[in-house]
Amino acid sequence: MQVLPILIPLMPGEPPASFASRLAWANGLSFASEFCTDQGFTLQAISDGDVRAISMLARLGGVELAQLMRGVVCKVSTGQYRLAGQLVEKRWITRRRLRFCPECVAEDIMADTAGGAAQRCAWHVPSIRTCHRHQVGLYDDESYSHSRGPHDFAGRIRDLNLGADQLRELVASQVSTGLEDYLTRRLAGEQQGTWLDNIGFGAVALGAEIFGVVDLFGIDAKLKHLSDNEKRRAGARGFELLSEGEEGLFRLLRRLHAEAGSPISLSRRNFGCLFNWLEQSHAEQYEPLRDLVRKFFVETYPIGEGELVLGKPSTSRRIHSVETLRRELVLGRRQTFELLGANGFLKPEGQAGNSAKGVVLDAQALAPLVKSFAGAICQVAAQKKINAPRAQFGALVAGGIIKPIAGSPVGRPYYDERKLDAFLASIVPLTTVAKADGLVGIQSVCRKAVAGAVDVVRLIQNGELKTVVRDVEQDGYLSVLLDPAEVTEALRLIRPDGYLRSTLAGFLGVKASALRHLVDTGHLKMVRARHPVSRKSVQVVPYSSVDRFLERFVPGKHYAEFLGGSTRKVGDQLIKERVPFIQMPEECGGRIFRRSEVLFGVEELANRLPLSHDGIAWPEL
Ligand SMILES: [Zn+2]
């Protein structure tokens, strides 16, 4: 194949079909299609990006194939085209309509390169409406030549029969927008160093326009009803938002959400044409934009894991509404509100009914609550599950054997079924009997042994009873049968963690009346307990109270024991030294001094510790 006699330079950004059109004219043929056929290929093949045809054209025109391929338009998949190396949907490439910059065309036809006007790739892109080089609006010509087809650019320009002067009359000055500059540079192969470089060319072009339309003209705007200039402004605005990435988009989306009244469920209506566009633009290149909007939706609305958002399942829940939380916890609405209130997730005014309707909650912050309360059961259900009489259940809760879930609302405790199962397992009888002579249930044992349910249950849990059998007629707590005599015997060994008043008075070296005085003045406290032998209700001073008391005070008797003198003499000496002591009525007897003021007070206590309370309080057991 011969190089043609007359050669023309390839213009920057010129598509191969335009080059063919000019090469034909330079070599004396008016119709590019005729020229191509003569050379053994078709103009259609060139405009379709057929490499074989384009390499023949390159050889004929004396240009490098790689150069010629730069401006190629070719199909990459259904509906997806590559234009000068950039991905665009076919429907967003303008080829039939004649679009050009009058200045560029005027320059070309005035030049003596003989080929006529060269097309530029950028003119195929509807979102580019300004010539970057001349800062003039691109001119759209409505004419269509059936004899030439769409790709014979230089021929179509000649058919318009416009001289340079007439072309210049078409010039309308217009400053190119950020979007137009970006797209033009990107078509020319320039990297611009923003995150947008990594998403599809078409996604930037269309995304900018649609986000801008929504921002400037609202969600009900219809693209087809907007003028070209309005779309250009929209593109410019949307490009500013897109350039900021997530921040810019989220700002717009947050505004739309607020304008819709901050609803707590996602409705396409609130995002209008933006939602429709994202949903209907299936091409993969729009995915990064869809992903960002998806992220916003998931962070704004109560969308559960696996729920479809713009065609893709959400990977995790970020937001709960009261309703979605209620369903996850399997609780009633009112109970859910109570639970949220009790755990500080609702402001007080939000607790009452309707005003909490619009509440959304951070799923991450709720996670511990959900973990604790998912599948939780109420008190009645818990009692039923354990199968314990109400009073017994209450005693077990009061004694800390069965614990409601922490964070339960006041007056409405919830229970974890797994913990209740564990409790039942801890008292489960190992043997069963059909007829249990003399054996009775826990409740009866408590009555007969004058014991609390807590003490009896502890004996079972600690394996201290030989006879624990199951009544086949009953379930759970009620099925446990014990021998009351054995329980009574076992309970004798249980000492309360406290001193009887008389024992403690003896230990401190004071009279019983002094001890009463110390309790009355708050130096010591008393609690109810059961006497280990008589099982009668008695009052004891807890070991912990005695510990606290001895940290602050030293009885004269103790100090005398430490120094090795008589209690009376040591006491008199301290009084003489004006060491502060607890003032007590005359008849109380015995003296108690402020430990920090006693010379060897600290040493005395160190010498005495650790106190073996059980041995002192209950020496006979
Ligand atoms: Zn121009």
**Structure token pair of residue 369:** 């609550």
349 pLDDT band, cuts 50/70/90, is low
Of 217-231, 313-327, 483-497, the least confident: 483-497
| 100 Cα: distance to centroid of ligand 1 (angstroms) | 8
Cα(151) to ligand 1 centroid in Å equals 19
Q: How far is the CA of 83 from the centre of ligand 1 (A)?
A: 19
The stretch 473-502 carries a mean pLDDT of 87
Find the 136 Cα to ligand 1 centroid distance in Å: 7
Pairing of strands 431-433, 468-471: parallel
Under a CB-based contact definition with an 8 Å cutoff, are residues 155 and 145 in contact?
yes
CA–CA separation, 43 vs 50, rounded Å?
10
Distance of CA 524 from the midpoint of ligand 1 (Å): 98
pLDDT at 224: 87
Angle at 13 between CA 12 and CA 17, to 5 degrees: 110
CA of 592 to the centre of ligand 1 (A): 106
CA 297/CA 286 separation, integer angstroms: 17
Amino acid 1: pLDDT: 67
pLDDT at 352 over 50: no
Residue 318 corresponds to which amino acid?
R
CA–centroid distance, residue 360 to ligand 1 (Å): 54
E-assigned strand segments in 284-426: 308-309, 312-313, 319-321, 360-362, 377-378, 414-415
CA of 107 to the centre of ligand 1 (A): 9
Amino acid of residue 337: F
Residue 396 has what pLDDT? Answer: 93
Give residue 86 CA to ligand 1 midpoint distance, Å.
Answer: 21
For residue 120, report the distance from its CA to the centre of ligand 1, in Å: 9
* pLDDT for the residue 559: 93
Per-residue pLDDT reduced to its tens digit, 123-154: 999 999 999 999 999 999 988 878 898 999 99
How far is ligand 1, taken at its centre, from the CA of residue 457, in Å?
94
pLDDT tier for residue 436 given thresholds of 50, 70 and 90: low
With a CB cutoff of 8 Å and minimum separation 6, the contacts of 474 are 387, 441
Q: Distance, CA 210 to ligand 1 centroid (Å)?
A: 26
- Range ranked top by mean pLDDT from 3-7, 379-383, 494-498: 379-383
Give burial (CB, 10 Å; 0-12/13-18/19+) of 529: middle
- Residue 348 is predicted with a pLDDT of 60
Alpha helices in 281-359 (DSSP H): 287-300, 322-329, 333-342
Return the pLDDT at 354: 46
Protein residues placing their CB within 5 Å of the ion ligand 1: 101, 103-104, 131, 133-134
User: Going by C-beta distance under 8 Å and a sequence separation of 6 or more, which residues neighbour residue 512?
Assistant: 501, 502, 505
Domain spans of the chain? 16-168, 193-313, 319-375, 379-491, 498-617
Say what the pLDDT of residue 434 is.
64
State the pLDDT at residue 308.
94
Q: What are the pLDDT digits (tens) for 573-594?
A: 898 989 999 988 877 778 899 9
Q: What is the mean pLDDT of the chain?
A: 90
Taking 90 as the threshold, does the pLDDT of residue 64 lie above it? yes
Residue 132 Cα to ligand 1 midpoint, Å, equals 7
The answer, yes or no, to whether residue 356 has pLDDT greater than 90, is no
- Say whether 514 sits in a helix, a strand or coil: helix
